[in-house]
Chains A and B, each alone.
Chain A
């Protein structure tokens, strides 16, 4: 099953190659075609690992390794398991669509625009494929620069503010993560004498809970800002509203997933005990995000902002699923990342299409569009329904699995979170009703064109995927199960060991101090609850054994 060429590296660097080519090509029209060709080719190549993927193992597949900075133990190491595989496919799938969607809507400096998009793709795929923490960090940061330009140059009126805010927020988190990565590296070197940034070697390290807490906090902040988890979400509406359509699609579709992916790939396995300990805080933040995002979406007057806030709500579900520590929850969370990428991506595409025609995104400016642009309305309906989780479409599968998983371990949060599903139906359908149904309230809307062939080409694949995952998610879930199962199992066993150990240790201290103060009166022991302590110490020994 050895592929003929380094598959993952090709997927990562082919878009960069395209970007470099774009500098050299004279005509902008040609650049567009080249970009479309590059992204489509990348997508097709990324299907190879999808079909050759072996779903029976959680190990990294299609692994590639090359020395980069051997003096520091930094190497170029990429590989995929089920989780990263799906996210890479999501990225490569969305890319040709964004290129197509900006075909006519980006008039100025379209060459530079496409160069940014192509570099961005390299960064995004790299983030999901990196196995070396240093490499991961480099890709993580490398996605910022093109996105910053996409928002700042081709964005709306407040684009500079939004771009700088986006950049500073993300950097604030990721710089602290860099410190944590360094600390992890040195702790590992101290323990084993081995200098490495390889994730799987770092996983061998069993950190004391106190250290885990600090490192977890640093990683968590970086990812929570990216997701964005309430209350770190304030950059998102600004960035989304100002970004050009392609930017919004990739921001919602892929960049936010980098945060949730970070939770799954790094926070949970590296710091299981600390993750376990933080469950309730994070679940609470996630649920607040779900409700808050939904309520905010409800009151928006701008369709794009509504979709942006719905992202906050949807991503809350994903985080809830991750921190439920059950395999259904995690399966659902990863699948929901893909679903959200497709559905919300499609929503932004649709909003972009209507904006191209009408140069407005205000709900109040529309009404009765279903009669004028029936095709557009039909697509909008399918995508909206998918976003609100209608059974038979993709959103339902993900949300259902998440809630199923969360009910087992976090029932209270799951119940409150489920309210978000209802709210989602309310804000999506209400918006749909105001935009599409009723009388045509604005004369200028009467002459809107319906979708053209290019736009249909963009939307049809998306809707196909929406229906496919909704009806038959098995090909996706099959590739996920073993990978997510491994992570869940690791967290649960490691976290239990740690909790038991900590409890035993603190009990031991307590016991000793009691022994000193009450040397003769052993009868008090039982009353002070020494027995459970002994039990828990025994449990710790068992789990260690």
Chain B
């Protein structure tokens, strides 16, 4: 804890930069003349880039700030980097989209940055209140972002649904936090651990109920069954880049907080929460994968696919321990690349007024746009977990962590689900390559920014699949850090 003095605010620099740039974007937008509003996105990119630089420079730090409110350690930095990368690519995808769909540029990027800030707070929170604060900052920004296309009915529906259900779920979380506070007399994660251990509170009913309520609250954010009902509708209605952010960034943030709370503060209750995650993992995988099969709309299909991936991630949670957390860290990074990549292709093909979002619209595009088709095929193979892609390595690591803990049955259910998922991930490929194009072929929304985002996602997916060694080593080191007593 002596690090507080030495690193000071530097430890919080990534989040500070993001927050500052959010305000800067708003200000620039406010004071720039009406004709020149296109630069908000660029400023956002610079802000995120600086944040990324700061976060990478901080790697190796292990300290707490503000009296234990903020933790700067390897898992927290890893998650912050994931969020920053996710937002960076999201902004790249948004450039032309936001302009064409008539989104308010300044607000859009500022809200994206605020959502990022919230997510970073969730990952860095050393106190339940900070985590809650982060979650609220992120969620509020997301509610607005989901409804940004105010002239589209579905978008408004999406925002309203997300807001009502989200507020409801947040209530559960807050209630859980208050019960935890009631049982232990503190909201600081480390202090809770100590209180539970020294007071022998592991069986305390308040603690158990509080834990259950927090599972509900976080379960909503990560879109785990049975708290997933909102996902398809919200994902479908929200602007596509926002959906991309939700499925990768928000989910990762939910898992970041979930992992930190359950693996540190509630680690002594492991006996009671592993069965919960075990069951949720099975339900989430099965429901997500089976429902995805019948979706005609690609955004809905990816929504259900993202539910299913929450299931695989819950396997990592059930496996607990350093290996499980390593799997979680690595999986979320890999998932960010491949899922953002898939959404990049969706954005590229999507037309105004939600046209060209049906799977059948992808017919024959593989040979017409060879590189785009190839990229989509790669992302689909990666999502279904075929080597040599990031998705395979990530799944492999998560499954191996679970096998190590002896959860063979869970892993067998997991791989059978991968098989189901293969069926619907193959569908876009079947359509793109094995059918003739429809007469009317859309003009692509391909601009340098989108292409950059696509290439970044592609490189990430391939790199993590072919040469995962270095990042896997970093993830392992990061995960170990959380378990040092």
Contact = CB atoms under 8 A, between A and B. Distances in A.
Do A and B share a complex?
yes
Interface of A: 67-72, 109, 112, 137-138, 141-142, 144-145, 148-149, 152-153, 159-160, 163-164, 167-168, 171-172, 175-176, 178-179, 182-183, 185-186
B122 to A, nearest CB: 28
Contacts of B387: 137-138, 141-142
A122 to B, nearest CB: 11
Contact of B434 (A144, A163, A175): A163
B403 A109 contact: no
Contacts of A141: 386-387, 392
Residue from B396, B397, B416, B473 having most chain A Cβ neighbours under 10 A: B396
Contacts of B418: 171, 175
B412 A167 contact: no
B218 interface: no
A68 B416 CA distance: 27
B419 interface: yes
Interface in B422-442: 422-423, 426, 430, 433-434
Contacts of B396: 178
Given A159-B434, A160-B430, A175 B416 contact: yes
B411 A71 contact: no
27 contacts: A109-B367, A112-B367, A112-B370, A138-B392, A144-B386, A145-B386, A149-B433, A152-B433, A159-B434, A167-B422, A168-B419, A168-B423, A172-B419, A175-B418, A175-B419, A176-B415, A178-B399, A179-B399, A179-B403, A179-B411, A182-B399, A182-B400, A182-B411, A183-B403, A185-B400, A186-B403, A186-B404
Interface of B: 367, 370, 381, 386-388, 392, 396-397, 399-400, 403-404, 408, 411-412, 415-416, 418-419, 422-423, 426, 430, 433-434, 468-469, 472-473, 476
A171 B386 CA distance: 9
B330 to A, nearest CB: 11
B412 A164 contact: no
Contacts of B433: 149, 152-153
Tell which of B418, B434, B473, B476 has the most Cβ of chain A within 10 Å. B434
B469 A70 contact: yes
Contacts of A164: 423, 426, 430
Interface of B is mostly: helix
B469 A68 contact: yes
Contacts of B419: 168, 171-172, 175
Contacts of A159: 434
Nearest to B476: A71
A178 B422 contact: no
Given A138-B388, A142-B388, A178-B399, A152 B434 contact: yes
Contacts of A109: 367
Nearest to A139: B387
Contacts of B434: 152-153, 159-160, 163
Contacts of A175: 415-416, 418-419
B293 to A, nearest CB: 12
Nearest to B401: A182
A69 B399 contact: no
Given A69-B469, A182-B400, 5 more contacts: A137-B387, A138-B388, A164-B426, A164-B430, A186-B404
A257 B418 CA distance: 25
Nearest to B418: A175
* Top 7 A-B residue pairs of the complex, sorted by shortest distance between their CB atoms: A175-B415, A138-B387, A182-B403, A69-B469, A152-B434, A141-B387, A182-B400
Nearest to B473: A71
Contacts of B469: 67-71
Nearest to A74: B469
Contact of B468 (A69, A153, A168): A69
Contacts of B422: 167-168, 171
Contacts of A167: 422, 426
Contacts of B415: 175-176, 178-179
A182 to B, nearest CB: 4
Contacts of B388: 138, 142
A176 B83 CA distance: 34
A164 B469 CA distance: 32
Nearest to B416: A175
Contacts of A163: 430, 434
Nearest to B403: A182
A179 to B, nearest CB: 5
A182 B396 CA distance: 9
B430 A69 contact: no
Contacts of A186: 400, 403-404
A179 B408 contact: yes
Nearest to B412: A179
Nearest to A176: B415
Contacts of B476: 71
Nearest to A183: B403
A182 B416 CA distance: 15
A186 B403 CA distance: 8
Contacts of B472: 69, 71-72
Nearest to A187: B403
A357 B256 CA distance: 63
A137 B476 CA distance: 23
A159 B416 CA distance: 24
Nearest to A152: B434
A70 B434 CA distance: 40
B360 to A, nearest CB: 14
Nearest to A175: B415
A179 B422 CA distance: 17
A152 B430 contact: yes
B107 to A, nearest CB: 42
Nearest to B384: A171
Contacts of A171: 418-419, 422
Contacts of A67: 469
A178 B434 CA distance: 29
Contacts of A144: 386
Nearest to B399: A182
Contacts of B399: 178-179, 182
A11 B387 CA distance: 20
B217 to A, nearest CB: 33
Contacts of B411: 179, 182
A148 to B, nearest CB: 8
Nearest to A214: B408
Residue from A68, A112, A175 with most neighbouring chain B CB atoms (10 Å): A175
Nearest to B420: A168
A172 B412 CA distance: 11
A182 B398 CA distance: 11
Nearest to B381: A145
A492 B397 CA distance: 36
A95 to B, nearest CB: 21
Nearest to A173: B419
A65 to B, nearest CB: 15
Contacts of A183: 403, 408
A71 to B, nearest CB: 5
A171 B381 CA distance: 12
Nearest to A141: B387
A159 to B, nearest CB: 7
Nearest to A159: B434
Contacts of A176: 412, 415
A175 B384 CA distance: 12
